[in-house]
Copies of this chain bind each other. A is one copy, B any other.
Amino acid sequence: MARLACETCAVRSKAICSELTRDELTKINAIAHFRAVPAGEVLFADDEPPPYFASILSGVVKLTKSLPDGRQQIVGLLFPSQFLGKTITGRASYSAEAATNARLCTFNRDQFNGILRAHPSLEKRMFEHTLDELDSAREWMLLLGRKTAAEKVASLLVLIARHSRQLGCGDPEHPDRVRFELPLSRSEIADYLGLTIETVSRQLSRFKAKNLISLEGPRVVVVPSLERLAGEAETDEACV
């Protein structure tokens, strides 16, 4: 039996391909193509039917919606092991762009939909993933509608900190200390939180002054106590 590339995949245990039978995995493996994309590359644009779906191997992808006059809102962030693309119902009403350099495991649209049709267990896995995305979206609605600027920024830092810790940056000595690189620029952070860049910058400076974080350059954040930071965020654990 041939070895499958999937077997050495970094996100194997968490992505949509986890819990598949050998047979299913083989079929998925056969249509999978690796693709590296640089930060800033648009993966698909508003209302243009995406040519492929993808599991994210590394990096971060942002989903953006915008108003006719240019106002923007990031409506989703996808981290490694998450799935990009809207199966079944086709075109999405948002655009997807690599926020950082990213590595993707892509699947041709029609081929993937074909496999989905034939393998309910994979479809179920996709369904679960969508339910998680819906939960995250609703959590974010609460943030956008009701949280203060400080709570918003803290919530985002906690979200990213949890993701990067989960990706193996845990320090057993100091389980509450996290150091990570922000996958987003200040203006992207603003677009995710419904704020302006100036407000984001001021809140970060305020957190720095309160020793809730320290910055090593504008992109690298050190959180001495994630618990203390989370206290500023009013966040539940529930985020994906």
Footprint of B on A, CB under 8 Å?
Answer: 63, 65-69, 71-73, 75-76, 86, 88-89, 92-94, 120, 123-124, 126-128, 130-135, 137-142, 144-147, 191, 193-194, 234, 236, 238
**Given A88-B124, A88-B127, A127-B130: A194 and B137 interface contact (C-beta under 8 Å):** no
**Given A120-B120, A194-B146, A234-B67: A128 and B89 interface contact (C-beta under 8 Å):** yes
Q: Which residues of B contact A69 (CB under 8 A)?
A: 234
Among B75, B76, B138, point to the contact of A75 (Cβ < 8 A): B138
The reply to whether A194 and B144 contact each other, CB–CB distance below 8 Å, is yes
The reply to whether A141 and B73 contact each other, CB–CB distance below 8 Å, is yes
Complex-state Cα separation, A236 to B91, whole angstroms: 14
The reply to whether A75 and B127 contact each other, CB–CB distance below 8 Å, is no
Q: How many copies does the complex hold?
A: 2
The reply to whether B76 and A146 contact each other, CB–CB distance below 8 Å, is no
**Given A130-B127, A146-B73: A137 and B139 interface contact (C-beta under 8 Å):** no
- What are 11 inter-chain pairs, A to B, with CB distance below 8 A? A67-B234, A93-B135, A123-B124, A123-B127, A126-B127, A130-B134, A137-B137, A141-B141, A145-B191, A145-B193, A145-B194
Complex-state Cα separation, A146 to B144, whole angstroms: 9
The reply to whether A65 and B134 contact each other, CB–CB distance below 8 Å, is no
